[in-house]
Structure 1
Amino acid sequence: MRGSKTGRPIMALFDLLGRRWALRVVWELREGPLHFRALREACGGVSPTSLAARIAELREAGVVAGEGEGESAGYSLTEEGRALLDALGPLAEWADGWSKRTAKRG
Structure 2
Amino acid sequence: MALFDLLGRNWALGIIWQLSGGPMTFRELQDRCESVSPTVLNRRLKELRASLLIERGERGYQLTPLGLELFGMLEPFGTWSMTWAQHLQNEKPDQEKRS
Which TM-score applies when normalising by structure 1?
0.74
Letter of the 1:22 counterpart: A
Q: Does 1:99 align with 2:85?
A: yes
1:40-80 Cα distance to aligned partner (Å, 9 max, x none): 12211222211110001111111100158xxxx82100011
| Higher relative helix content | 2
* Gap runs ≥5 in structure 2: 93-99
Match of 2:35 among 45, 65, 70: 45
Match of 2:69 among 58, 79, 83: 83
User: CA–CA distance in 1 between the matches of 2:63 and 2:23?
Assistant: 7
Q: Which has the higher contact order (CA 8 A, sep 6+)?
A: 2
SS at match of 2:21: coil
CA RMSD of aligned residues (A): 1.9
User: CA–CA distance in 1 between the matches of 2:76 and 2:60?
Assistant: 29
Offset at residue 84 of structure 1 (A): 1.3
Identity across aligned pairs (percent)?
42
> 2:45 maps to what in 1?
55
Which TM-score applies when normalising by structure 2?
0.79
User: CA–CA distance in 2 between the matches of 1:102 and 1:45?
Assistant: 24
User: CA–CA distance in 1 between the matches of 2:77 and 2:35?
Assistant: 25
* Gap runs ≥5 in structure 1: 1-10
Letter of the 1:16 counterpart: L
SS at match of 1:50: helix
